[in-house]
Chain A
Amino acid sequence: MSKRVLIVDDEPRYLRLLEANLRTEGYEVATAQDGVQAVDIFSSQPIDLILLDIMMPRMDGFSTCQRIREYSNVPIIMLTAKGEEQDRVRGLDLGADDYLVKPFSATELLARVRAVLRRSQIPTDTGQTRFFSHDDLKVDFARAEVWRGEQAISLSATEYRLLLQFAHNVGSILTSEDLLTGVWGPEYKTEKEILWVSIARLRQKLEEDPHSPKHIVTRSGLGYLMPPTES
Chain B
Amino acid sequence: MNTKRLDPRTLAYIQTLVQAASMKDDWKTALDKVLVALRAEFVFDNVAIYMVDPTTLSLEITHARAVGRGKAAEADAAWGENLANQVLARESMVTQDPLDDSNDRISQAYLLGLPLFNGSTVFGVMVFVRFGGPVYEDVQTTLAAIAGSWVAALLYRKAHEETHQQLAVLQQKVQLQDDFVATISHELRTPLGFIKGYSTTLLRADTTWDEETKQEFLTIIDEEADRLSQLIDNILESAKLQSRSVQLNVQPLRLDALIRDVVIRVCARHKNLEVELRLDPVPPIQGDNVRITQVFDNLFSNAAKYANGSKIMVATKEDNGSLLVTFSDRGPGIPKAYLPYIFERFYRVPGDRSSKGSGLGLYICNQIIMAHHGKIWVESELKKGTTFYIQLPIKSAI
Decide whether A and B assemble into one complex: yes
Residues 350-381 (chain B) with a chain A CB within 8 angstroms = 350-351, 353-354
What chain A residues lie within 8 Å of B185 (beta carbons)? 81, 83
The answer, yes or no, to whether B186 is at the interface (CB within 8 Å) is: yes
The answer, yes or no, to whether A21 is at the interface (CB within 8 Å) is: yes
Q: Which of A13, A82, A105, A106 contacts B189 (CB 8 A)?
A: A82
Size bracket, chain A contacts: 20 to 34
The answer, yes or no, to whether B204 is at the interface (CB within 8 Å) is: yes
Closest CB-CB distance, B224 to chain A, in whole Å? Answer: 8
The answer on a CB contact under 8 Å between B197 and A104 is: yes
User: Beyond A13-B220, A17-B198, A104-B197, is A81–B354 a contact (Cβ under 8 Å)?
Assistant: no
Residues 13-45 (chain A) with a chain B CB within 8 angstroms = 13-14, 17, 20-21, 24
The answer, yes or no, to whether B207 is at the interface (CB within 8 Å) is: yes
Closest CB-CB distance, B350 to chain A, in whole Å? Answer: 7
What chain B residues lie within 8 Å of A104 (beta carbons)? 193, 196-197
Residues 189-220 (chain B) with a chain A CB within 8 angstroms = 189-190, 192-198, 200-201, 203-204, 206-207, 213, 217, 220
Distance of A12 Cα from B207 Cα, bound (Å) = 23
What chain B residues lie within 8 Å of A55 (beta carbons)? 186
Q: Which of B189, B201, B204, B207 contacts A103 (CB 8 A)?
A: B189
Closest CB-CB distance, B133 to chain A, in whole Å? Answer: 71
Closest CB-CB distance, B352 to chain A, in whole Å? Answer: 11
The answer, yes or no, to whether A11 is at the interface (CB within 8 Å) is: yes
Residues 116-163 (chain A) with a chain B CB within 8 angstroms = none
The answer, yes or no, to whether A10 is at the interface (CB within 8 Å) is: yes
The answer on a CB contact under 8 Å between B353 and A11 is: yes
User: Beyond A20-B213, A81-B186, A83-B185, is A103–B354 a contact (Cβ under 8 Å)?
Assistant: no
The answer on a CB contact under 8 Å between B353 and A106 is: no
Q: Which of B193, B213, B350, B351 contacts A102 (CB 8 A)?
A: B193
Distance of A21 Cα from B220 Cα, bound (Å) = 15
Q: Which of A20, A21, A57, A106 contacts B351 (CB 8 A)?
A: A57
Distance of A20 Cα from B220 Cα, bound (Å) = 14
The answer on a CB contact under 8 Å between B354 and A12 is: yes
The answer on a CB contact under 8 Å between A106 and B204 is: yes
Distance of A12 Cα from B223 Cα, bound (Å) = 14
Kindly report which residue of chain B lies nearest to residue A13, judged by CB atoms: B194
Name which of B189, B193, B206 has the most chain A CB atoms within 10 A of its CB. B193
The answer on a CB contact under 8 Å between B190 and A11 is: yes
The answer on a CB contact under 8 Å between B220 and A103 is: no
The contact string, 1 if C-beta is below 8 Å from chain B, for chain A 47-72, is 00000000101000000000000000
The answer, yes or no, to whether A220 is at the interface (CB within 8 Å) is: no
Kindly report which residue of chain A lies nearest to residue B217, judged by CB atoms: A20
Kindly report which residue of chain A lies nearest to residue B354, judged by CB atoms: A12
The answer on a CB contact under 8 Å between A81 and B189 is: yes
The answer, yes or no, to whether A107 is at the interface (CB within 8 Å) is: yes
Distance of A53 Cα from B224 Cα, bound (Å) = 19
Distance of A103 Cα from B204 Cα, bound (Å) = 16
User: Beyond A11-B353, A57-B351, is A105–B186 a contact (Cβ under 8 Å)?
Assistant: no
Closest CB-CB distance, A9 to chain B, in whole Å? Answer: 10
Closest CB-CB distance, A119 to chain B, in whole Å? Answer: 22
Residues 56-104 (chain B) with a chain A CB within 8 angstroms = none
Closest CB-CB distance, B220 to chain A, in whole Å? Answer: 6
User: Beyond A17-B194, A57-B350, A102-B193, is A107–B204 a contact (Cβ under 8 Å)?
Assistant: yes
The answer on a CB contact under 8 Å between A21 and B189 is: no
Closest CB-CB distance, A143 to chain B, in whole Å? Answer: 37
The contact string, 1 if C-beta is below 8 Å from chain B, for chain A 70-107, is 00000000000111000000000000000000111111
Kindly report which residue of chain B lies nearest to residue A25, judged by CB atoms: B207
Distance of A109 Cα from B177 Cα, bound (Å) = 33
The answer on a CB contact under 8 Å between B200 and A106 is: yes
14 A-B contacts (beta carbon < 8 Å): A10-B354, A11-B354, A13-B224, A14-B193, A14-B194, A14-B197, A17-B197, A21-B201, A57-B351, A57-B353, A103-B195, A104-B193, A105-B200, A106-B197
